[in-house]
Structure 1
Amino acid sequence: MKVDPGHEIERLYGLEYSEKHELTVRFTGILLGNLLLVAYFEEPGLWAWSVAYLTVHFSYFMFLRRARRAARTAHLHVGTVLFLCIMVAYLWVPVFLVAQATIATVAMGLSLVGALLVYLVRRADTMPLMVLGQVTVVGIMGAVAMYEVLRAVDRPLEKLGIVVAGTAFMGYFALALYVSRQRRFEAHEAAVRGLQAQKLSAVGQLAGGVAHDFNNNLTAIMGNIELALVVSDAAERDNCLHEALLASRQAAHTVRQLLLYARKEHPDLQVVAVTDLVGQLGALTRRLIPASVDTTFCPGAPGVRVRCDKSQVLTALINLVTNSIDAMESGGRIAVGTEVIEVTKPAGLCDGGQIGTGPFVAISVSDTGPGIPRDILDRIFEPFFTTKPVGKGTGLGLSMVSGVARSLGGGVDVTTSPEGTSVAIFLPVHVPPPGPAAPETPSGDRP
């Protein structure tokens, strides 16, 4: 596995310094341990241990902080050397304690060594130089400790036992590091494969969703053109052709919406009357709604305006209407309505957005379908999430609706039950800036 320098430097920094409480306990333990060491052996010179350990650790910390800004492969090698120096500084005391060859000092030394070994296995380093260096440092320091212990032992059989036990210890330690390294490789490869599968699934879902959006517009275009070919009334024919033209423009807007979703195009903001939005939504979806579904479009009070990209909001509303149609396979009712709400304090919405204070208009699409299951309600705003088959579901789905609303300072709220679902797009009401004040008429007598 190729190691990314930036990612590895971040990992090394996180391993050592991300847990503030553990860091405090570790350094406090070093200082208290050194204090006990000086008191036990009555040797003030032993303070050099904590000074050396903390100095190397500080150098390692400063190096990683600088390397995080622009990590390179050379930084990994320097970081490896510094970490191995920390290991040497730390292991000096356990080796010193074991070399004293008393029950108390050997127990303390082995406990400190065990703590380090558990930490090294948990790190699961993958760089060959780092793993080899860890095994080498532990091996050399272990050999020094073993040599000091062997000097204090007279019986050959005891010496043989110590050598065999020490060799087995080093072998299993090296094996543990190797297995830990391999498992991290396998976990990384599994994560990469999972991410690739998610990407392929997202691409497939996006393709199906785009096809579904275009199919909505093509259905409206074809339906109106076919109707225009059979009607005899000129006014009705013109109306059908006009609606087909609107649907074709909406198809072009779908492409713009995809570009916007990919951050390739800026929205065309303009002040639009909410009544116009609801009216055009009815015209664009009239041919999409089956006869088994009753529809009601209530544009609300005139004069309510919003500042938005008209095509974006219409695309979002069409998505909501088609979702409602798909949710009612055996028929039902769809109601599109608006309501002006005065928000007195910031409020969170289902899509994760938060609206501020002031007047908002809620454009809602309600249906009498079976409702949204509770177990997926938290996921409906995830990009490409759908419960519909490929080619049927809207690939951009409610995430697009939410993105449009939130980019305008609003959001999306959902109310659902077994009797139906209502999805409301909240948009800030456009309040025109005050015009120039009319000149005041002076009081008093006129000339």
Structure 2
Amino acid sequence: MKLALLGCGTVGSEVVRLMRTRGEELAARVGEPVEIVGIAVRRIDRDRSHLPVDESLFTTDALGLVKRDDVDIVVEVAGGIEPARTWILTALGQGKSVVTANKALLAEDGPALAAAAKDGGADLYYEASAAAAIPLMRPLRESLHGDKINRVLGIVNGTTNFICTAMSTKGTSFEEALAEATDLGYAEADPTADVDNYDAAAKAALIASLAFHTHVDLKDVYREPLRGISATDIASAAAEGRVVKPLCIATREADGVSVRVHPAMIPATHPLANVNGAYNAVFVEAESAGRLMFYGAGAGGTETASAVLGDIVAVARNKRGGITAFPPEAAYSDLPVKPIGEARTRYHVSLDVVDEPGVLARVAATFAHHGVSLATVHQSGRGDDAQLVVVTHTAADKQLSDTVKELTQLTSVHQVTSVMRVEGE
């Protein structure tokens, strides 16, 4: 079985290493050897002497490598939208099965890629795209295919979870936690994709599409950055028996689905509350199977390569048997993605207020005016330090937004210092 590898960075180099060191074992599992016949890279002159392959395998002509007649499987770990899209569509069009970890491309162009796989009679596998080493895509596509998934709640970005963990356990600021994450290699020099939740949004689109059998486009995922988290938010959560986590939330409702990524408070007793550091976890709620949690390393070259190799073995077996075991996922449910204004959850709202009689009544009346019921109210401080912390019952996002807008206009409210969703209760 001949394989073309597109990309030889952190993940690609680990794919090469693992295929060499586990070659005999992989051959036994497939039924024949799987051989790398070419590796496409951006720069041919880079030192790759640490890799256990002949340098003649490297090429800058990725498309030419994909089109070679002797290539059976194409593994794309270069990332990005183009030219990765062209490479994958070309491979699938020629009946060559594809393994990819490209979450951004799958989130943007998943239906087109699935259609190309179907037309070409090829497999399209992407286990590593959403949670690296955590086996999630295949359970959603296969193991839970006979069930009905109603909700997925997850931590799908190691960088943001590391930041939240550091702020909670060490008392560091957001900036200090981000700097530490960068020093440890969890965050890129430009951390925008992580801390502004672009990475998590792409993963959420993939997860929701599989879980609910409906296409969720990346642009339909509500995204809120992590940057606004403060030490006060962390302390308020802890005082109420909660922790702050960067969540991916996908919910099936009667008239559509809701998909969003943002920081939120969850009970300290929730299984996701103890997922710390750069680890990821996804909590699935299904009608028959009940509550399931998938936990493990959500990033890293070796960890991601592990999932890629699993897909390579699967598609190689299928090739050998003359089958495509995973037909493209049908979006038969065709459920609309609901706007964020219709999403329903609980909220934690902090306000700096004037220290005078009647303030609490005016604030409570504002919530009531917009149909938002209060679960708890805590008042602290005196004088210029007077503060109200309100936790609501479940309400629509628009109701809460309208409430906050009116609160900012009250003369008795200096400012609304924080609004954070409360999940998992």
Q: Which has the higher strand share?
A: 2
Q: Which is bigger in relative contact order (C-alpha 8 A, separation at least 6)?
A: 2
Structure with the higher fraction of residues in helix conformation: 1
Provide TM-score, normalisation by structure 2.
0.24
